[in-house]
Structure 1
């Protein structure tokens, strides 16, 4: 006798051989459970086709066509992905609402003899869990804010703090954005960031890895990083946190930024497009001057002028408005190993991880 399908509304409470998202590729890309793989029973074009027929022609016709497409796609997955699975294989399956798409895959797999669990309510159950967790979980931690003007190496220092086994929440890494006008990571000529939903999924996954009895180091950010927003609960805790400010000479900051943003130096046209967005704030005359610096390769002059005229004033106003005054100010002369080690020794004296 074939086993029955099991349903759960708490998939995170158990372990499974594999988590399978049977939604279309575009749905999967927008957001999915961490560790899930995508085995769609309808791809994006097929889903659109069935939906159109359902609304414009006849629901019964749509279900027949949909069933044929689903059967064909499940056959492909059976002959490829599932072919080598042993009898103890135990997958977790979900679709959008936990309905027909996940049910179709689950029915076939249980007929083979595998123990299959389906998320009751599908992805929507998981999404509700993420939202609820992000309302409450950030409140459980004590945060230490790392502040400093643009080019102070906050993200770099944050990474070094993490290498000493301290707890670090790198929001720019999760958002795939460096938190400024020039901060998008280049993918061809575009900046790629996760969707708001997937950013929240990644953020929750990271927060769940932390121990509440240890502080969490985090860089001073605005409530928006590129195109994604921080949960209000986390933003409120960040604004209440104690701050440590990093200071170093502007020449060192300029050199650091030139090393960090080589992708923009290599693509001057893209850099000009990004800087054009500052015309409303800095004026056409200043923008033309920056363009001239780019055309002549005067990179150090360009970076220092951007810091003096735009980034430093913006950052100072932001820090004053949103974050507590720095409890400590630490000075370093450069980003040499000796300077960074001395800084970390001051930030993390006798640090011992208790995880």
Structure 2
């Protein structure tokens, strides 16, 4: 069996990666690109584990073997029914034990060149944590700073469209970062899955080119940004993104329009600001929701909440603010793309003076 076990650095040698853990384990996190073909369902794994602890390891193993055999047979008739004779899959479970070993054995008996990942997902997860300690330091960062609603995310997306390397932490975290930032009908990933996506994204970047990233706090919703990345980003060169109050309100109304679809939930969220702003102010904001006074509400949120919060926190974190370049956005999408192109040209010309940044013009 030893010759069927391969190390993590051989992931690229296989036609397909198969995760045989339960759907819940797979949803929590998995190797990028892996498909899920569980040999035990969520409920079956609980049943076998309970029997192992409370009845008999032997009886639990016998039941588990029967369930695994039945599930592998089902997968052979469905998920893997069209795989060719030359197919080379890599199989993994939690730590490279019986679940992945069973499928690997059966696949090789059929004639496929299946292999089992040494140490399973546990080994992969350890490699992600190790890379999070070292990978962020291999890049130079250009940080988009600025008040809430100035269009930083729009500019980041425009820079990516113009060929720059953009690290969109809010997209990876499925959250816009503020108290109101939860996305409609899109739950945040687990911390593990966020970190897997972060490592995968950074691994695809060219170390000779800078990485554009939006200024974030240490938490994006319930996701924690790794300390090693935050430290590098806080020391990066800054671009201060600006917009008029009118355009900022327009941006926020576009980004947060869904909040008005559930006004009671929106009001409950704003109630969490009571200790900071007092009952009278929060009640006024809640009344604006009832009156559908959207522009008035976001104008007050900008002036009374977001801007004071930015003034308190930004200077303490981003060391490059005193030499930041400035970029002003309007609500026009074409203007954002034009600003991105101009910004890339400006950075290219200023490269000798700004920490050695070189950004090729698309």
TM, length-normalised to structure 2:
0.93
Shift of 1:261: 1.1
CA distance in structure 2 between the aligned counterparts of 1:84 and 1:12, rounded to whole angstroms: 24
- 1:110 aligns with 108
Q: Give the alignment's Cα RMSD to 1 decimal.
A: 1.7
Could you tell me whether the CA contact under 8 Å between 2:131 and 2:199 is conserved in 1?
yes
One of 147, 153, 157 as aligned partner of 2:145: 147
Shift of 1:292: 0.7
**Deviating more after overlay: 127-136 vs 4-13:** 4-13
- 1:218 aligns with 213
Shift of 1:9: 2.1
CA distance in structure 2 between the aligned counterparts of 1:198 and 1:45, rounded to whole angstroms: 22
CA distance in structure 1 between the aligned counterparts of 2:296 and 2:324, rounded to whole angstroms: 31
CA distance in structure 2 between the aligned counterparts of 1:331 and 1:11, rounded to whole angstroms: 43
The CA deviation string for residues 274-326 of structure 1, in whole angstroms up to 9 with x for no partner, is 11111111111111000111111111110011111111111221211111224
Could you tell me whether the CA contact under 8 Å between 1:32 and 1:198 is conserved in 2?
yes
Would you say 1:52 and 2:60 are equivalent positions?
no
Could you tell me whether the CA contact under 8 Å between 2:151 and 2:243 is conserved in 1?
no
* Within-5 A mapping of 1:76-225: 76-187=74-185, 192-225=187-220
**Deviating more after overlay: 124-133 vs 270-279:** 270-279
Judged with a 3 Å threshold, the aligned counterparts in structure 2 of structure 1 residues 72 and 331 are, in CA distance, closer, same or farther, namely closer
Unaligned stretches of 5+ residues in structure 2:
349-358
Could you tell me whether the CA contact under 8 Å between 2:344 and 2:361 is conserved in 1?
no
Would you say 1:343 and 2:339 are equivalent positions?
yes
Could you tell me whether the CA contact under 8 Å between 2:218 and 2:225 is conserved in 1?
yes
Shift of 1:4: 7.7
CA distance in structure 2 between the aligned counterparts of 1:260 and 1:286, rounded to whole angstroms: 23
Judged with a 3 Å threshold, the aligned counterparts in structure 2 of structure 1 residues 160 and 333 are, in CA distance, closer, same or farther, namely closer
Unaligned stretches of 5+ residues in structure 1:
none
- 2:312 aligns with 317
CA distance in structure 2 between the aligned counterparts of 1:228 and 1:222, rounded to whole angstroms: 10
* Within-5 A mapping of 1:21-40: 21-40=19-38
Would you say 1:269 and 2:264 are equivalent positions?
yes
CA distance in structure 2 between the aligned counterparts of 1:303 and 1:154, rounded to whole angstroms: 17
* Within-5 A mapping of 1:240-251: 240-251=235-246
Could you tell me whether the CA contact under 8 Å between 1:21 and 1:32 is conserved in 2?
yes
Would you say 1:332 and 2:340 are equivalent positions?
no
CA distance in structure 2 between the aligned counterparts of 1:193 and 1:341, rounded to whole angstroms: 29
- 1:42 aligns with 40
- 2:60 aligns with 62
Number of aligned residue pairs: 349
The DSSP-based 3-state class of the residue aligned with 2:238 is strand
TM, length-normalised to structure 1:
0.94
Shift of 1:338: 5.3
One of 4, 8, 11 as aligned partner of 1:10: 8
